[in-house]
């Protein structure tokens, strides 16, 4: 079944042009909503994704009508492909998971999302560094001064009860636990406990949660197909990452040669 998805950002905007394009493309059922692209809560889109079955195809006019950014587009693509369905964008024909280049499309969108994430982290880190250089302090004011923390840790190491020490400073048990945990007082007691060393008492070693999944390895395509796709990839990167065409060209070259 062919599904269509249309979206505009405000009530004042008109959906008619998008709906007409989707109907011309042969969409049998069209989901539409008037919500900002920055709004993560898009119930009509979520309903569409939940209704997909193997062989279905989702159509949209352009990527920014469906996704907020490369991360969002990557998640949508994964949801669609995991349902056995396909996604096609009318004005961006390079986004077409029904073609033989679907793996390459997923790789490129995933790579763009990963690049954007790195850029955001770098900008955040640089901003924090500049703020610290100007004397800006981050986070809440500590509930205990450095002198009080030293006294509390000494009392805990001497065997005083955590609740008693916390009460004497008028702080919660959790505050005292955090103070002790990150200063190494309680860590000594944990040094030989298998559950704190990342070992499971009944099975193989446990590994830290949060490792990023590796991106799929792209297939090798004929040179002519890659050159044809590259023109569209440049436009996609420029639109999704909000960068110039020259910058997108450089990114596309690096991505396609990896």
How large is the angle between the packed helices 43-50 and 70-82, nearest 10 degrees?
30
Which 8-state DSSP code applies to residue 134?
A: T
d(CA 112, CA 74): 9
In the block, tokens 């062989």 appear at 55
d(CA 99, CA 86): 9
Among 9, 102, 168, 177, the active-site one is: 9
d(CA 253, CA 227): 10
82 has catalytic annotation? no
d(CA 93, CA 91): 6
d(CA 81, CA 224): 26
Supply φ then ψ for residue 233, to 5 degrees: -65, -40
d(CA 12, CA 150): 61
d(CA 146, CA 236): 52
Q: What is the set of active-site residues?
A: 9
């Amino acid at each position: 079944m062919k599904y269509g998805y249309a979206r505009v950002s405000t009530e004042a905007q008109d959906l008619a042009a998008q709906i007409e394009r989707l109907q011309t493309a042969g969409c049998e059922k069209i989901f539409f909503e008037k919500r900002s692209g920055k709004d993560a809560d898009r119930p009509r889109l979520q309903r569409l994704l939940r209704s997909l079955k193997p062989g279905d195809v989702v159509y949209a006019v352009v990527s920014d009508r469906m996704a907020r950014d490369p991360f969002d587009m990557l998640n949508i693509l994964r949801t669609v492909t995991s349902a056995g369905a396909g996604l096609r964008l009318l004005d961006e024909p390079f986004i077409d998971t029904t073609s033989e280049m679907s793996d390459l499309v997923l790789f490129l969108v995933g790579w763009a999302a990963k690049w954007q994430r790195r850029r955001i982290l770098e900008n955040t880190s640089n901003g924090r560094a500049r703020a610290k250089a100007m004397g800006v302090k981050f986070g809440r004011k500590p509930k205990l001064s450095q002198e009080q923390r030293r006294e509390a840790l000494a009392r805990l190491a001497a065997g005083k009860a955590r609740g008693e020490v916390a009460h004497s400073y008028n702080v919660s048990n959790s505050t005292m636990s955090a103070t002790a945990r990150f200063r190494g007082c309680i860590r000594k007691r944990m040094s030989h406990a298998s559950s704190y060393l990342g070992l499971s008492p009944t099975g193989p070693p446990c590994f830290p949660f949060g490792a990023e999944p590796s991106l799929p390895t792209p297939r090798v395509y004929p040179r002519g197909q890659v050159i044809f796709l590259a023109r569209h990839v440049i436009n996609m990167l420029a639109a999704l990452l909000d960068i110039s065409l020259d910058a997108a060209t450089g990114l596309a070259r690096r991505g396609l040669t990896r």
